[in-house]
Amino acid sequence: MGKKTSERKKSRREVKSVPQQQQQQQPNVAKCQANARMEVERWVRRALDKGVDGLREEYLSLKRYIPEDMTTNAFQGTFEAGKSRYKDVPCQDKCRVILRWPGVTKDYIHANYVATPIDKKRFICTQGPMPNSVIDFWHMIVQEESDTIVMLTNTVEKGLNKCEQYWPNDVGDTVSFGDITISNMAVRALAPDETNVRVCLLKVQWKEGGQEKTREVRHYQWVNWPDRGVPPCRLTSMVLLSNVRGSKKPIVVHCSAGIGRTGAIVAIEYILEKLQQGIPCESMDQILKELRNQRPYTIQNDMQYLYVHRVMLFYFIDKYKVFADNDDMMAKYKTFIANYDKITG
């Protein structure tokens, strides 16, 4: 466990958003090229034509899909050693993050790279750190030069431990795990109307080659996304992604198992990148396979699969007015919303 200290003086620093010039532009349908607009419309039309029931059937037909060539050799024995959280969620060897930390002989962490159209290592999807794997987690952050962590769980949910407290929660606090020290420099909400995502600016310190090294890491925690469920349908996902999109290093995303909520948020960005570049992605079942080939079991249930569609429909139709003049499509959208709300409660 890490040692915790507290500085009583409150920091006046604010967690600033990633500088605007470093952010990629928020996907703007109105400004997309003609082929991108066409792909967006095809995607929206397919989702509305299938409807909630059709999309649930589509997901359930792939619920047990895993890569044909999947091996899990590195995972063997890690559950018993306290390095893997769930015995029924193995980490596949392909795409796994291999730790290479000086003086450490074990190279395992339950984490996989997930590529997107713009980067072969756009995301690292990982499980929530455990008492025996917190130091591995921070070794990975330093090794991969990651400057962004997205946490989609609480440490405890419904009385169950879902993730170790691996970062200092309050401004001025410091924790140490082995040879790495993390300090909380500032805290803010994601946005004035997005208070369910808490952003911490962390200072990470370690020694490398006898020299002191320091890096700032932004830690985003979404606190009201229930395990195996879905959060309220707002544009929180889009606001969150717009904040982290500017990172040029692997974006680390985790929930508890690192497949359900994690898979949903990664899927949204994966689809957005394809659509923005005019890459066909009408076949959502194929998209799910592409993601699971990199991080098996991505998107844990049909509710999360529906959530991905609901948020993107909200984004395209309500925000960017796709099909706003098409009465037939708008009627289907109204039905979709009603059915989605009925199922998700």
How far from each other are the two terminal CA atoms of the chain, in whole angstroms?
39
Angle, helices 34-61/261-276, rounded to nearest 10 degrees: 150
C-alpha to C-alpha distance for 256 and 157, rounded to whole angstroms: 10
Cα separation, 305 vs 319, in Å, equals 21
Spatial separation of the C-alpha atoms in residues 313 and 320, rounded to whole Å = 10
Please state whether beta strands 194-208 and 180-191 pair in parallel, antiparallel, or not at all (unpaired).
antiparallel
What is residue 18's DSSP assignment?
A: P
Of the listed 32, 95, 255, 281, which one is catalytic? 255
Is 238 within 8 Å of 315 (Cβ atoms)? Answer: yes
Q: Distance (Å, rounded) from C-alpha 130 to C-alpha 138?
A: 12
Residue pair 39/281 in contact by the 8 Å Cβ criterion = yes
CA neighbor of 133 nearest in space, from 220, 256, 5, 4: 256
32 is an active site residue = no
Question: If you ran DSSP here, which 8-state letter would residue 307 be given?
Answer: H
Cα dihedral value 307, 310, 316, 322, nearest 10? 150
Taking CA atoms, 219 is separated from 21, 35, 148, 156, 225, in Å, by: 20, 36, 6, 18, 16
The answer to whether 147 and 157 are in contact (CB under 8 A) is no
Give exposure, 75-102, as e/b (b: 16+ Cβ within 10 Å).
Answer: beebbeeebbbeeebbbbebbbbebebe
Nearest to 144 by CA among 182, 183, 96, 179: 96
Angle at 305 between CA 300 and CA 306, to 5 degrees: 140
Token representation of residue 259 = 């497949």
Catalytic machinery residues = 255
